[in-house]
Amino acid sequence: MSVVSFKCKNCGGELLFDPDSQKFHCEYCDSYFTREELGEEPESKTEDPAPRAEAASKTGAAQREDEFSEGEVVEYTCPSCGAQVIAEASTAATWCYYCHNPVVLSSRLSNKLKPNKVIPFVLDKEQAEKAFEQWKKKKWFLKPGFSREARLEKMSGVYYPYWRINCRTQGHISGNAEKIRTWRSGDTEYTETERYQVVRRGQVELRDITFTAINREDIDLTQGVYPFDYSKAQEFSMAYLSGFLAERRMTETKDVRPRAQEKIRGYTREKLEDTVKGYTHFTVRDSGCQMEEEKWEYVLLPAWVMTYQYNGETYYYAVNGQTGKTCGRLPLSKARLAALFAGVTAVAFGVFSLIGGLLL
Ligand SMILES: [Zn+2]
Ligand SMILES: [Zn+2]
């Protein structure tokens, strides 16, 4: 397992990504660096200067190019203090337990595991904590004494792995529609029913359909801190992870594609249905959709998360690290933490070339 840390060019201290300035900050000498000033991403071990390469070579497994291996807990050597540290299978960036310096597990973010994009944190920890305080005030379920009794744990900034899909579809729907008109003349009420067969064909552009890339089972799609503004996404660089926690992806596109295609078909159908207007009823009898251009990206998205204990139970809370949108609920299992971010969002752009409305 190879690991990297990002060092200050002036004093050799650890650099942390600073959400306020969107630069890399040295807390020791108070220097700031841009992404460009950091220079090349230290991806390859052979090009790495000491002490990183030395530290890595102490672990027997370090020379092996680490690839996607599920469920593997690894031991690595902290580049700052040399301690042996254990990392969970899904960890991509963390802190050394001993010296508290940030460390990025570079082999879990390289080659085919390299993310395409990252949305860097915009909110810092203080802003996230303020958002939590405000959110807490509004919650009905917080019993009196909550603030006093709840044992608040540290709020952590975490990059979570996602698949982002953009695609174009050619869809069609057909179904039966009715226009019903009633009127009264004297003592007689008249009802006129016009029946139509409605057909719609169209091209739908779908953007930013987002699926978690963590392979946990009980994902609930109803809650979330979505959406994220992908126009602010950056080309991936490990340096953005410095000072944060990060999880790496644990799924391949093939694991997600069936569910993604189902969503895409659903969105396409919805978009076409939205264009059927002016009828009293409309029932879809048949629909179909062909995907024309499908673009998948592996992205890391930022969130501040916090767990808290209340009456012996564990609750979770999250803030979108880019927009500040908050979300919290009462799940009991740790796996459900993922659910906070597992919503599916999509923005659909225009529907073109419609053919519609045939009067029978
Ligand atoms: Zn420095
Ligand atoms: Zn250390």
Determine the distance separating the centroid of ligand 1 and the alpha carbon of 15, expressed in angstroms.
8
Determine the distance separating the centroid of ligand 1 and the alpha carbon of 138, expressed in angstroms.
42
User: Do 107 and 27 lie in a common domain?
Assistant: yes
Nearest ligand, CA of residue 85? 2
State the Cα–Cα distance between residues 353 and 6, nearest whole angstrom: 52
User: Do 352 and 264 lie in a common domain?
Assistant: yes
Determine the distance separating the centroid of ligand 1 and the alpha carbon of 48, expressed in angstroms.
20
Cβ distance 54 to 62 under 8 Å?
Answer: no
- Asked, for residue 139, whether it belongs to a domain, the answer is no
Nearest ligand, CA of residue 103? 2
Determine the distance separating the centroid of ligand 1 and the alpha carbon of 32, expressed in angstroms.
8
pTM of the model: 0.79
User: Do 166 and 110 lie in a common domain?
Assistant: no
Nearest ligand, CA of residue 102? 2
Confidence band (pLDDT; 50, 70, 90) for 329? low
Q: Is the pLDDT of residue 9 over 80?
A: yes
| Lookup result for tokens 């597992």 | 342
Q: Could you read off the pLDDT of 248-263 as tens digits, one per residue?
A: 898 899 988 998 999 9
Determine the distance separating the centroid of ligand 2 and the alpha carbon of 84, expressed in angstroms.
8
More confident residue, 351 or 39: 39
User: Do 171 and 302 lie in a common domain?
Assistant: yes
Determine the distance separating the centroid of ligand 2 and the alpha carbon of 49, expressed in angstroms.
18
User: Do 100 and 219 lie in a common domain?
Assistant: no
Asked whether the CA dihedral 216, 74, 117, 124 is positive or negative, the reply is positive
- Asked, for residue 145, whether it belongs to a domain, the answer is no
Nearest ligand, CA of residue 83? 2
User: Do 222 and 342 lie in a common domain?
Assistant: yes
Nearest ligand, CA of residue 55? 2
Determine the distance separating the centroid of ligand 2 and the alpha carbon of 41, expressed in angstroms.
21
For residues 150-176, average pLDDT: 87
User: Do 164 and 268 lie in a common domain?
Assistant: yes
Q: Is the pLDDT of residue 149 over 70?
A: no
Tokens standing for residue 65: 């190019």
Nearest ligand, CA of residue 31? 1
The number of beta carbons lying within 10 Å of the beta carbon of residue 234 is 12
Determine the distance separating the centroid of ligand 2 and the alpha carbon of 100, expressed in angstroms.
6
Range name among 22-31, 70-79, 136-145 with the lowest pLDDT average: 136-145
- Asked, for residue 200, whether it belongs to a domain, the answer is yes
Looking at residue 146, its pLDDT comes to: 57
Computed on alpha carbons and rounded to an integer, the radius of gyration of the chain in Å comes to 26
Looking at residue 224, its pLDDT comes to: 72
Domain that holds residue 319: 158-235+251-359
Determine the distance separating the centroid of ligand 1 and the alpha carbon of 24, expressed in angstroms.
10
**How many domains, in total, are found in the chain?**
2
Nearest ligand, CA of residue 95? 2
User: Do 267 and 333 lie in a common domain?
Assistant: yes
Determine the distance separating the centroid of ligand 2 and the alpha carbon of 96, expressed in angstroms.
5
User: Do 323 and 223 lie in a common domain?
Assistant: yes
- Exposed/middle/buried for residue 297 (C-beta within 10 Å: 0-12, 13-18, 19+): middle
- Asked, for residue 38, whether it belongs to a domain, the answer is yes
User: Do 186 and 110 lie in a common domain?
Assistant: no
DSSP labels, 211-233? EE-S--S---SS-------GGG-
Q: Is the pLDDT of residue 15 over 70?
A: yes
- Exposed/middle/buried for residue 291 (C-beta within 10 Å: 0-12, 13-18, 19+): middle
- Asked, for residue 103, whether it belongs to a domain, the answer is yes
Last residue of a domain, one of 57, 90, 114: 114
Nearest ligand, CA of residue 78? 2
State the Cα–Cα distance between residues 159 and 155, nearest whole angstrom: 13
For residues 9-38, average pLDDT: 94
Looking at residue 226, its pLDDT comes to: 79
Determine the distance separating the centroid of ligand 1 and the alpha carbon of 50, expressed in angstroms.
18
State the Cα–Cα distance between residues 92 and 89, nearest whole angstrom: 9
Last residue of a domain, one of 114, 136, 167: 114
Q: Which segments of the chain are extended strands (E)?
A: 15-18, 23-26, 32-33, 74-77, 84-87, 91-95, 102-104, 117-118, 151-152, 156-185, 188-212, 234-235, 245-247, 281-310, 313-320, 326-329, 347-352, 358-359
- Asked, for residue 120, whether it belongs to a domain, the answer is no
Q: Is the pLDDT of residue 233 over 80?
A: yes
The number of beta carbons lying within 10 Å of the beta carbon of residue 284 is 16
Q: Could you read off the pLDDT of 237-290 as tens digits, one per residue?
A: 999 999 998 988 988 999 889 989 999 999 999 999 999 999 999 999 999 999
- Asked, for residue 316, whether it belongs to a domain, the answer is yes
- Asked, for residue 134, whether it belongs to a domain, the answer is no
User: Do 278 and 331 lie in a common domain?
Assistant: yes
Cβ distance 15 to 29 under 8 Å?
Answer: no
Determine the distance separating the centroid of ligand 1 and the alpha carbon of 359, expressed in angstroms.
75
Confidence band (pLDDT; 50, 70, 90) for 213? confident
In the DSSP assignment, the letter for residue 240 is: G
For residues 13-31, average pLDDT: 95
Nearest ligand, CA of residue 98? 2
What are 7-10's contacts with CB under 8 Å, separation 24+?
8/33, 9/33, 9/37
Cβ distance 201 to 269 under 8 Å?
Answer: no
Residues 6+ apart with CB under 8 A from 133: none
Nearest ligand, CA of residue 99? 2
Residues 6+ apart with CB under 8 A from 326: 131, 132, 134, 135, 225, 317, 318, 319, 320
User: Do 23 and 92 lie in a common domain?
Assistant: yes
